[in-house]
Amino acid sequence: MSLKKNYYFWMFVLFFLVVLATFLINIGIGSVEIPVKDVVKILTDGLIDGDTNSSIVWKIRLPRAIAVIFGGASIAVSGLIMQIFFRNPIVEPFVLGVSSGATLMVGLVILGGAVLGIPPIFLNSWTTVGAAFFGSLLVMAINLIVASRVKSNVSLLVVGLMIGYVCSALTNMLVTFAEEAQVKGFVVWQMGSFSGFTWNSVKTLVIISIPLLLLSTLMHKPLNAMVLGERYATSLGINIRLVKVFLIGVSSLLSASVTAFAGPVGFIGLAVPHMTRIFMRTSDNKIVFPATMLLGAGLTGICDCIARMLFSPTEIALGSVTSLIGAPLVAYLILRRNKDNG
């Protein structure tokens, strides 16, 4: 095994251990502390009726812990795909207004469902995901139209931010006219949290994310070619239009599936791809994609743990924690890499 492959192997092992550790810790911590060894025993024994700790783990904490893993991986990969597509390292669903579009459509479902007379039977997890996906896809389509007309990445980012402001304004209008009970639920959702995950919502997230994450990993060759430019990719026989449709759809659906249940979770999609390239010392998407999934899951797990325990029993917004941790960490890593290279 070459030195480089050996390095990749041990970094993947490290990332996996971080994910495993945060997974077990997130199950064990809370108002009722459960030691890690007991958590492992409960998971291996299955749900035992009448056992309080077993019920807490299987009915409350395990669905959330699983959602954190798949949700973090999905957000991180969504941001990575956007950075590859726009060939811009500072884009993510939140920056380009995609998350704001998803939030607006989910707001229409949650806040406008009763007003519009939508029967409760239609207001389920799949409806919410569909609304979030439609909103994110609509905003992404607008961004693509703008991208085809302007050459400046700064202009594209400004347009994305403006779209985000418009979506936020419309969402605030919905809040103004909604009922108090609906507003409370929507505000809690908007703060960003994995606390509301049930086994049904976890099932929805897993069904969506696993195939898309695997498919995105298998697309590493055309994505590597896209990084070098569309003309180069075309010369290799790659269908640029098909790849673009794939990138738009996968990125939007991954972001939407998490936003629908956990609310807008910022900075993971921006920070993790940067951190992955720095830690792995490569831009090869064959390595970067799986590493981004693991690092995204691990970092989100750490942030979720902090959000729950920092001011326990009060849980703070997950988005606040991801920004407070991710921003300084990425800045430090970039400055350190520039110093090493300089």
Question: Any idea what the CATH number is for the domain that residue 139 is in?
Answer: 1.10.3470.10
Whole-number Å distance between alpha carbons of 279 and 295: 10
| Contact of 201 with 125, CB cutoff 8 Å | yes
- Which domain does 210 fall in, by range? 3-341
In a structure prediction context, what are the per-residue pLDDT tens digits for the chain, which is 342 residues long?
Answer: 577 889 999 999 999 999 999 999 999 988 888 888 899 999 988 888 778 889 999 988 999 999 999 999 999 999 998 888 777 777 777 777 888 888 888 888 877 665 555 554 455 666 777 788 788 878 878 877 876 776 666 677 788 788 888 988 988 888 887 777 677 767 777 777 888 788 888 998 999 899 999 988 888 888 888 777 777 778 878 887 788 778 877 888 888 888 878 888 878 888 899 889 989 988 889 999 999 999 999 999 999 999 888 887 778 888 788 888 777 877 776 676 666 555
Nearest to 272 by CA among 130, 81, 134: 81
In 10 A of CB 245, how many CB atoms?
A: 11
> What is the DSSP track for 95-164?
TTTHHHHHHHHHHHHHHHTTTTT--GGG-SHHHHHHHHHHHHHHHHHHHHHHHHH---HHHHHHHHHHHH
138: DSSP letter: H
How many residues does the structure list for the chain?
Answer: 342
Phi (first) and psi of residue 239, to 5 degrees: -80, 100
Q: 303 by DSSP, 3-state: which?
A: helix
- Neighbouring CB atoms inside 10 A of 144's CB total 15
**DSSP 8-state secondary structure symbol assigned to residue 120:** G
The total domain count for the chain is 1
| DSSP states along 190-243 | HT--STT--HHHHHHHHHHHHHHHHHHHHTHHHHHHHHT-HHHHHHTT--HHHH
